[in-house]
Each structure stands twice: as structure tokens, then as C-alpha cells.
Amino acid sequence: MPLLPCCVEILIEVEKLMPNSEIVFPDNAFGRSMSDYRFLSVRSSLGYRPDECTPRGFRSSFRDWAAEEASFQSEVVEIAIAHTIKDKVEAA
């Protein structure tokens, strides 16, 4: 399933703002990927309880979507969800 045009527009604008970044939405304070705490804070402000919505659940949903609907290599998906690839040959 391709990205919606509005999503593509957002990514194009983000690339203009941060042309040398490997991370699409970095943590502004540190310039690296966002921690789970950032997600937990947003979840709480939206009124969701911990048993209703988890960072692991979002990662799992993304992983399922990438496997079933997209044609990304598994290594790319693992990096996208901030998992390290333990096999050094595969990581290279």
C-alpha cells in the first residue's frame, strides 16, 4: 500500500528541514530517535490507559503491516522500528 499523498508531502517538507538526517522525526533535544517515554507521554495526554495502547503494540502493528502489505526487506523494517540486527553479517 503506497503512502497517501499528504504523507508524502510531509516527508518532502521534513527532508527540506533536515536534509542530512537519517531519522525522519528525531528527538529534538538529542537529535536521535525518540524514546518510548515520548510515546508514553503523548498516550497519556490523549487519555489512553497503559493496557489500551503500548509502544510495543505500535511496533508490532507496523511489523505486521510491513510484512503483509509492503515489500520492504526485513532488515529495513527492523531498523525502522529501532531494533538492532544481532547477526553482524545481516546488519552489514
Mean pLDDT score, 2-29: 79
Q: What pLDDT, on a 0 to 100 scale, did the predictor assign at position 2?
A: 66
pTM of the predicted model as reported, rounded to 2 decimal places: 0.43
Please write the tens of the pLDDT for every residue from 18-65: 788 777 777 766 667 777 777 788 888 888 888 887 777 777 787 888
Residues 6+ apart with CB under 8 A from 75: 85, 90, 91
Q: Which residue has the higher pLDDT, 49 or 3?
A: 49
Contact 23, 32 (CB under 8 A): yes
Domain ranges of the chain: 1-34, 36-92
Q: What pLDDT, on a 0 to 100 scale, did the predictor assign at position 30?
A: 65
Enclosing H/E stretch for 10: helix 5-17
